[in-house]
Each structure stands twice: as C-alpha cells, then as structure tokens.
Amino acid sequence: MKATQTGILWSQVQVLVGPPEKQTLIRNGGGFVFLNYHLSMNQQELRNQLQDITLNHPSIHQRLLRERVQNHSLKVVSGFGNDLSYNCVMYALNLQNDQRYLDLRIALPGHIHADTKFLKFLIDQGFLVESEKGQLIIYFEGDVIKHIGKLSSHNRVVSKWGIGLLYDHELFDIPVDYGCSIKRFSVKGSPDIFVEFKNYVDLLLD
C-alpha cells in the first residue's frame, strides 16, 4: 500500500489501516477520517512470505527472496557478510555505531537493549513526538510498537529486520508480524539518545 493511493495527504495521516478486520479511524487535525481500505490478497501473501523468510538464518535471506517472492519492492542495503549485529531500533536511532552504547550493552543482562520498549520510553518521556514531517516511521499493532524504520522517500522506508538484513522497501512490504498501522515521529530537540538509554537502563535496574 502507498500513502499516495489513499487520497489522504501525508500531512493529514497519523495512522494507516491494515487488513479489513483491523480497519480503524484515522485521526486528522480537525477530526477523524475513515479509510475504507484493506491490503490486497497479493500483499497479504507477500507479507506472509517475508515473515517466513525471516524465520531462516540471515545467510540465506537473499536467496529465499529471489526464489520465493515476486513483485516486491525490497532492495538489500546491507546483506549477510556485513555487520548485522543490531536491530531496527538501534539502526533508526543511530546507536549501532555508538561505541558508548556498544560498550554498555556488553555489560548488561541479555534482555536489556535498545528495543521497542525503549522506543515507548522515549515517546512517553517526550523525546520522540508525532510529526507530519517526521523521518522515523513507527509500526504498530493496536497500541503496541512492533517495528521502526527511517523514511527514505515519500513512501519508502529503510529498516532492519531483526537479526536479518537491512532493507529499503515500500511502507508495507514488511513481514506480517511488523504491524498494520504507522505513525511518523521526530526526535524533539537534540537529546543524546545514549544518555536517555542509560536513564532507561537505570530505571529497569533500580
């Protein structure tokens, strides 16, 4: 699905709906707009196929993409053989190359890292705010954050798929588990994201 296909401008959209059973009201500055739209069977099948691929070892993701999937928008930005030891949140917030974060991460329990719970912390604390010009695309299932990427053009996103590859893709050419609605966010001010991660860790370990 493309935002331009809906007839609703990006500046009006806060949430795009997914499959019919999850259709929802879309907030626009002066009220609500109902988007009577659902994913085509082909796109639902594509998302299921992409989900299946992510269940395999990253070393064969590109081969499976060539062999199993047709008519997709995906372009591999960073494939197997490159450093893929970061997730979608680390990539979107530019933490994957922050040595302070990498050093701290080694010292932490395995379940504590920059993940979607950390994203929610940043939103709750006001460091990430909804914005019609935001370059961060956050994917939701209901109110639950599922995925994040960086807007690369009007309807394309660059995002890291778990422990897999880094892709440039259309908005909803993503695994089915990555959510069916999106919001655009911006970083408010110029916070040091690592410092906020450390504050987040302190809360968890307190």
pLDDT by residue for the chain (206 residues), tens only, comes to 434 333 334 433 333 434 434 444 444 443 333 233 356 778 889 999 999 999 999 999 999 999 999 889 999 999 999 999 999 999 999 999 999 999 999 999 999 999 999 999 999 999 999 998 899 999 999 999 999 999 998 889 999 999 899 999 999 999 999 998 999 999 998 889 999 999 999 999 98
Euclidean distance between CA atoms 7 and 75, whole angstroms:
26
How many residues does this entry show for the chain? 206
The DSSP-derived string for 1-41 is --GGGGT--GGG-S----SGGG--EEEETTEEEE------H
Domain residue spans in the chain? 41-205
Task: Give the pLDDT of residue 39.
Answer: 63
pTM for the full model? 0.82
Q: Which regions of the chain does DSSP assign to beta strands (E)?
A: 25-28, 31-34, 75-78, 128-130, 136-141, 144-153, 156-160, 166-170, 181-187
